[in-house]
């Protein structure tokens, strides 16, 4: 566990970057620091591994003040990932990843084997190992940055806007990859971003900071969205807070109709029917006009995906209905507009 105990950082020019910050980043969880530019996120992060020393208060690592641990020893247990990956341009990918193992005196063969294993772990083709950083895409470089931080298997990972320099699609896949890795590795992660969506997606807990380095709210994402502490947090969460909140509403109890699916394109009394294959996979919506014309559909996995996904699925289709499928992609029913409205009304009351 990482503990900030009334930590203040004043720079020599008098700027207070962090002001009496108190918070805990629990072991094995992702704690996200989020807030506008200049609110002290990077400063807070760097005080953990002593790249910056606190002016007042203290930071404890599993109860031990970091001020009493010499920086090289401290950093051996802390991986650090930054924006643009920060790779060494003249070292091959494999040697970039093996940086810390080399520093720890591992022999070259063992260090490289570890690096190859990690490249695979973060979803990179091992064939890239012999390349130089400039020969990789931005997203690939970020993955290398993550692999490098994990190389010595540190219990703590500090990540400062690691995914902010890549396009939205690559960013999403890097986020998914991080969550997948974390499910295996259970690191204590402090993740900095200014993107509230990223914070909500990744954080077990989210700390919202305001300029001047003061903590505005510390909460799990669901609580943050449903009970913002003040106007600053509400504003920071944005106007689509209501929609975001639906990410945390289950589709489990959603009322489904099973009488709207059909194997054949035959006219019925209903304005729409969902054509499915012999093994119940969706093909398209049929409006009873020309049999060769099917309209697009959207699916969500019942019980696993959120109400937000169900709503997205409904909006993808002119039928206005969302197709509920099971984990194997087989249709289990259809959520009509009315059923979705009903569920949304219930969620708003909750
Ligand atoms: N070396 C320094 N000397 C003086 N002031 C500094 C120094 N480093 C940062 N600051 C100031 O401290 C405040 C917090 O900076 P910090 O880099 O921690 O913010 P941040 O939240 O990471 O911002 P961003 O989202 O832009 O990365 C800012 O006002 C910044 O200008
Ligand atoms: Mg920063």
132 and 81 Cβ atoms separated by less than 8 Å: no
- Asked if pLDDT for residue 239 goes beyond 80, the answer is no
pLDDT beyond 70 at 119:
yes
Last residue of a domain, one of 213, 248, 283: 248
- For 36-93, what is each residue's pLDDT tens digit? 989 999 999 999 999 999 999 999 999 999 999 999 899 989 988 887 767 888 999 9
pLDDT band at 350 (very low <50, low <70, confident <90, very high): low
Query: What is the rounded distance in angstroms from the CA atom of residue 147 to the CA atom of residue 157?
Result: 11
- Determine the average pLDDT of the residues in 142-167: 87
CATH number at residue 100: 3.40.50.300
In a domain, 186, yes or no: yes
> What angle do helix axes 138-150 and 168-185 make, rounded to 10 degrees?
20
Distance CA 194, CA 196 (A): 6
Residue reference for tokens 């991986």? 79
**Nearest bound ligand to the CA of residue 211:** 1
Position 6 scores a pLDDT of 97
Is residue 287 one of the residues assigned to a domain?
yes
**Domain end marker among 206, 224, 248:** 248
With a Cβ cut-off of 6 Å, ligand 1 is lined by: 11, 13, 15, 17, 37-43, 194
Examine the pLDDT at 246 and tell me if it is beyond 90. Answer: no
What per-residue confidence (pLDDT) applies to 242? 78
Is the domain of 53 the same as that of 197? yes
Q: What is the pLDDT of residues 1-21, one digit of tens each?
A: 999 999 999 999 999 999 999
Mean pLDDT of the chain: 91
Average pLDDT over residues 195-218: 94
What pLDDT is attached to residue 17?
96
Number of domains observed in the structure of the chain: 2
Q: Indicate if the pLDDT at residue 105 is higher than 90.
A: no
The predicted structure's pLDDT at residue 177 = 86
Q: Are residues 228 and 174 in the same domain?
A: yes
Structure tokens at 265: 């394109």
Ligand 1 pocket, mutate which of 37, 38, 195 (most atoms under 8 A from CB): 38
In a domain, 255, yes or no: no
Q: Any idea what the CATH number is for the domain that residue 324 is in?
A: 3.10.580.10
Domain range for 339: 261-349
Point out the domain boundary residue: 200, 218, 248: 248
Element (H, E) at 128: none
Query: What pLDDT does residue 56 have?
Result: 96
Return the percentage of the chain with pLDDT > 70, whole number: 99
Q: Give the mean pLDDT of 171-189.
A: 89
Task: Report how far ligand 2's centroid is from the alpha carbon of 41 (Å).
Answer: 6
The predicted pLDDT at position 95 comes to 92
Q: Which residues contact 132 (CB under 8 A, 6 or more apart)?
A: 89, 90, 91, 92, 93
Question: Do 335 and 242 share a domain, yes or no?
Answer: no
For ligand 1, atom 18, name the residue with the nearest CA. Answer: 40
Q: How far is the CA of 27 from the centre of ligand 1 (A)?
A: 27
Cα separation, 164 vs 110, whole angstroms: 32
Q: Specify which residues 299 forms β-bridges with.
A: 323
Write down the pTM of the prediction.
Answer: 0.81
Q: What local confidence, expressed as pLDDT, does residue 208 receive? A: 97
* CA-nearest residue, atom 31 of ligand 1: 38
């Amino acid at each position: 566990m990482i503990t900030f105990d009334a930590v203040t950082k004043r720079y020599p020019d008098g700027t207070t970057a962090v002001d009496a910050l108190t918070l805990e980043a629990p072991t094995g969880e992702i704690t996200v620091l989020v807030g506008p530019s200049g609110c002290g996120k990077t400063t807070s992060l760097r005080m953990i591994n002593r790249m910056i020393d606190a002016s007042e208060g203290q930071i404890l690592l599993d109860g031990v003040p970091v001020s009493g641990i010499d920086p090289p020893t401290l950093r051996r247990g802390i991986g650090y990932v930054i924006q643009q990956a920060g790779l060494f341009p003249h070292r091959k990918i494999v040697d970039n990843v093996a940086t810390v193992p080399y520093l720890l005196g591992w022999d070259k063969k063992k260090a490289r084997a570890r690096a190859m294993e990690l490249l695979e772990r973060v979803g990179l083709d091992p064939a890239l190992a012999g390349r130089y950083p400039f020969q990789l895409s931005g997203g690939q470089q970020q993955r290398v940055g993550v692999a490098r931080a994990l190389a010595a298997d540190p219990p703590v990972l500090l990540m400062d806007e690691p995914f902010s320099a890549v396009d939205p699609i690559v960013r999403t896949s890097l986020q998914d990859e991080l969550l997948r890795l974390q499910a295996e590795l259970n690191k204590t992660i402090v993740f900095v971003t200014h993107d509230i969506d990223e914070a909500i997606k990744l954080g077990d807990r989210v700390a919202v900071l305001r300029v001047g380095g003061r903590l505005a709210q510390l909460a799990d994402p669901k609580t943050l969205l449903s009970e913002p502490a003040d106007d600053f947090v509400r504003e920071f969460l944005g106007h689509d807070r209501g929609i975001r909140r639906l990410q945390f509403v289950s589709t489990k109890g959603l009322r489904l109709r099973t009488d709207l699916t059909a194997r054949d394109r035959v006219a019925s009394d209903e304005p729409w029917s969902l054509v499915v294959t012999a093994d119940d996979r969706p093909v398209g919506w049929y409006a009873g006009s020309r049999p060769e014309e099917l309209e697009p559909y959207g699916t969500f996995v019942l019980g696993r995906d959120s109400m937000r996904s169900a709503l997205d699925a409904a909006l993808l289709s002119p039928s206005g209905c969302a197709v509920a499928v099971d984990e194997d992609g087989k249709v289990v029913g259809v959520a009509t507009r009315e059923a979705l409205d009903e569920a949304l009304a219930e969620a708003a009351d909750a």
